[in-house]
Structure 1
């Protein structure tokens, strides 16, 4: 079977897959067709979490997988940490600048049969970090064609897992926030007080509180903390974003 036919067949079969358990052999078989011995699909911040929004599927060597979860090694896994800061797929050999204990973790994985691999980040705003990894017992050469097909298989598997967990639905519309509301939220998210925000924007603290109240109403948020979390999720404000004025700070609506 050609790689193109493999990708098409995998998409068809995962589209009619009825459970996460059925998905496991499909991913494993596709990985072996490409040249990988093992895979792991992870969507969670803690592999011990079992809520419906989380998922962890793999066919890793049982002895290593049990130790990996039981000892919390996933918290230090350089591959998973790297995946949180990447968009495209990457070979494990590309993970550089690791601490000594992280290199030791990869060495330990290699001794258990996870010698080389390729990981595709799969992160959705507002959901736990995700990644799909394929691993081989021996060094493997990743051609551009293999990388493309592996990326497709990984992302298709990820979307299938989201569908099977009831997450593959259209998101709710993002509320419209006025420019001043966004400016206030940016500064509050950076830890400024109402007085500091007011001084920076040239308005009164009462006006700041009114903007925040209006934004909370738009989001139906019960607290400021929830409002900021929702605004971050929807990219209305960004992590560590400088508190710069928008459009000269003159647009109030």
Structure 2
């Protein structure tokens, strides 16, 4: 703990000076005395690449094993984390029979039995998870979780902001579309015209056109069809 802040206000201040998400995770891990922390952004678009952004303090051997064996496809924390909206204790999860080998392998690599994950969803529609893992006893884990649960939720969004900045700097390519703008683009992407969309959503033609125009402007596109295509690429909508 030497050299690290001991209260939540100081933790947040120190995160602001962290040079990377990786550095921030190590800071959080040390302050809260958990064994491992992981941040996982489901997907990001940088240039022509569309790939997840993951930073973790897990041992390199476990990270390599996880990737080589394709464990992300059966990892219950990853699966549930991108489906749920609220933070969850890993003990809430139901483990299917095919995950038993994965769990045994994880523990052989030093991964603890206890964990807590915070799903993150931002205004641009990005989904991410911040997870804490511990090898401590159940009793100590309960105490740790009771003490710091709300702080960890706040930290999750700070780490997410850091990740977005690390990826894009000041030029975040993903604008914050409103739910209605997303809906209108979704139906446009399915080939519906303004009249159809207005009827489907129960809106006036004028309101529908306004949503499509504002979405197109935010995305920097000359046409609605181009905006729908870009929104699909950026995962703002899915068809």
So what's the TM-score if we normalise by structure 2? 0.66
1:101 aligns with 2:98: yes
List runs of 5+ in structure 2 lacking aligned partners.
Answer: none
Cα separation, partners in 2 of 1:224 and 1:38, compared to 1, 3 Å: same
Contact 1:83 1:119 in 2 (8 A): yes
Cα separation, partners in 2 of 1:212 and 1:227, compared to 1, 3 Å: farther
1:227 aligns with 2:224: no
Q: 2: CA distance between counterparts of 1:173 and 1:125? A: 5
The DSSP-based 3-state class of the residue aligned with 2:142 is coil
What CA RMSD, in Å, does the superposition of the two structures yield over aligned residues? 4.6
Provide, for residues 173-223 of structure 1, a one-character-per-residue CA deviation record: whole Å limited to 9, x for no partner: 75897xxx998766556x5766x949x77xxxxxx9xx9988665415456
The DSSP-based 3-state class of the residue aligned with 1:85 is coil
Contact 1:7 1:152 in 2 (8 A): no
Provide, for residues 2-34 of structure 1, a one-character-per-residue CA deviation record: whole Å limited to 9, x for no partner: xx95322210101122334533431331242xx
The DSSP-based 3-state class of the residue aligned with 2:154 is helix
Contact 2:120 2:128 in 1 (8 A): yes
Task: Identify which range, 58-67 or 145-154, moves more after superposition.
Answer: 145-154
Provide, for residues 70-122 of structure 1, a one-character-per-residue CA deviation record: whole Å limited to 9, x for no partner: 332113211011111222221111112x4322343233323322221111112
Q: 2: CA distance between counterparts of 1:157 and 1:29? A: 15
Aligned to 2:42: 44
Cα separation, partners in 2 of 1:45 and 1:92, compared to 1, 3 Å: same
Cα separation, partners in 2 of 1:152 and 1:100, compared to 1, 3 Å: same
Contact 1:162 1:168 in 2 (8 A): no
Aligned to 2:118: 120
User: Number of residue pairs matched?
Assistant: 218
Q: 1: CA distance between counterparts of 2:41 and 2:183? A: 33
Superposed displacement of residue 138, structure 1: 3.6
Q: 2: CA distance between counterparts of 1:52 and 1:187? A: 23
1:78-157 paired onto structure 2 within 5 Å: 78-96=76-94, 98-114=95-111, 115-126=113-124, 128-140=126-138, 141-143=141-143, 144-157=146-159
Aligned to 1:73: 71
2:164 to 162, 165, 170: 162
Q: 2: CA distance between counterparts of 1:91 and 1:160? A: 24
Larger radius of gyration: 1
Cα separation, partners in 2 of 1:197 and 1:149, compared to 1, 3 Å: closer
List runs of 5+ in structure 1 lacking aligned partners.
Answer: 202-207, 241-253
So what's the TM-score if we normalise by structure 1? 0.63
Q: Specify which structure has the higher proportion of strand.
A: 2
